[in-house]
Structure 1
Amino acid sequence: MTKVSVWAALACDVLVVLVFTAVGSASHASLEHGVAHVVLLGVSFLLALGVGWAAARAWRAPAQPWPTGVAVWFATVVLGIWFRALLVPGAGVAVSFVLVTALFLGATMLGWRTVDTLVRRRAAQH
């Protein structure tokens, strides 16, 4: 079984951020604020993801839950919330939003990496 390519791993993380943005926007009727509002929400977390990938040098081991996944997840949460507060007019920083953000992005970003690791270990045993 071959390793996950850098592009596939990046695509997984981008998909996670886009799903997070879409679900959150739909749950909170963000489109009522206009398309630009939703785009800025997505851009906030995509910028954070990019910084996280660069800081973690995620291209070296993109599918490893530790340390790559944790570093990318942490940066995406912290910087995404910060960028959101800077870029999105009227976006507050409620504790509940921080918790939901951290839990969703943690479950998905670390989740796909953990599943990949377990599948590869199992395949290597056979």
Structure 2
Amino acid sequence: MSKQELPVLAPAEACCTPMACEPLGESDAAELARMFKALSDPVRLRLLSLIASHEGGEACVCDLIGPFDVSQPTISHHLKVLREAGLVGSERRGTWVYYWVLPVALNRLSSLLQAPVPTRAHA
């Protein structure tokens, strides 16, 4: 067996998540909090899941009303909150509005929540 030297990474290089590397700035924290707040409602979380899993990656608002026991205006309000939080995009096509998930936003939330690789064992 040959011995290989493994490079020692500096702490900043070893870390891949923003929150574990350095504290969030005020504007980043405000933007991310708006996204998390939008997702804290069960209806909005389900709406995001329905849109993301819909065939073709986008869903007509007409397809999003049926699965919920709330009115159409309430669904529209929840979609507006998701859109204003930067989690979904939308486009009007004729009388219907189509929604899709914005991958950049989900990637940002996901990377923020990834646990850093421990540098030492915790007891």
TM score, norm. by length of structure 1: 0.28
Q: Hey, which of these two has a bigger chunk of strand by percent?
A: 2
Name the structure with the higher helix share. 1
* Structure whose CA Rg is larger: 2
